[in-house]
Amino acid sequence: MRRRDDHPGMLRRLGALIVLSLVALVGLGTAAWAHVEIQPAEAFAGATETLTFAVAFEGSATTGLVVRLPDGASVTEVPAKAGWTSAVDEAEGTVSWTGGSTPADETFSVIVELPSTPGEILFPSIQQTVDGEVAWIGEEAGEDHGSNPAPRLTLVADPDAETTTTTEATTTTTEATTTTEDELADTTLEAQQRDDGSTSAAPWLIGSAIAALVAIGVGGLLLKRRADREAREESGDGAGGVDDSRGDG
């Protein structure tokens, strides 16, 4: 008889244990999902990427979100979000959304130019709710409810960036080679022009020399002829004087 009376009590205790276990599981699940996370979780360093911050429901409606960007990152654009007002504070390095109220999980997107150095970067965030603020700023990526890890993004090197750099270097080398060839061509052309000038001057000099020699020769010939004529004239005058003397006698 006592065993029959104990059986319902055991069932009640077992039921209570199951309920407590379910409550514990729900609590663990809430703690595990109560994060602000970035989508995607990985991006290329130096790229311009659309980042989406997924804000989990904390039991009270989300009314705003403030995100601080890491060093080297900058906001390019904030897509419009119905029911919300966005703002970018470049001096503080933050982007924020206010004015809405969401009693459920919510997402906020922003286009960001990422730092150029590969590695893990953090985006500390403040989730604003109707019951207060929740700071997601922890540097460690813990899963327990008290850790409140900051949203984090892993930056990897872009393999195409190395190819682009190599191509640019090759292009620069080609341009330098072309410039050198052009300079050599210009130098050769100038040398040829100088040579052409020297060659074209040679006939003129030769012609001038020949003309001078001809002039000298002609002048000498004229002088010789004049001297001969004067000599003949003098000889003629001497002969006339002899004949006259003979006639007088």
Residue pLDDT, tens place only, 115-131? 999 999 999 999 999 99
The H-or-E segment that residue 204 falls in is helix 159-248
Number of domains in the chain: 2
Cα R_g (the chain), whole angstroms: 54
Average pLDDT over residues 207-229: 70
Lowest-pLDDT choice from 91-95, 122-126, 155-159, 202-206: 202-206
Residue 208 and residue 214: Cα distance in Å, rounded? Answer: 10
70 and 183 together in one domain? no
149 and 170 together in one domain? no
Q: Are 44 and 80 in contact (CB under 8 A)?
A: no
Q: Which domain holds residue 174?
A: 158-236
At 38-83, the pLDDT tens digits run 999 999 999 999 999 999 887 889 999 999 999 999 999 999 999 9
Range among 149-153, 202-206, 234-238 rated most confident: 149-153
Supply the pTM of this predicted model.
0.53
Diameter of the chain measured on Cα atoms: 215
Residue 49 and residue 76: Cα distance in Å, rounded? Answer: 9
pLDDT at 174: 52
| 25 belongs to a structural domain | no
80 and 153 together in one domain? yes
pLDDT at 243: 47
Residue 249 and residue 233: Cα distance in Å, rounded? Answer: 26
| 14 belongs to a structural domain | no
Sheet (strand 36-39) strand order? 36-39, 48-55, 106-113, 74-77
152 and 48 together in one domain? yes
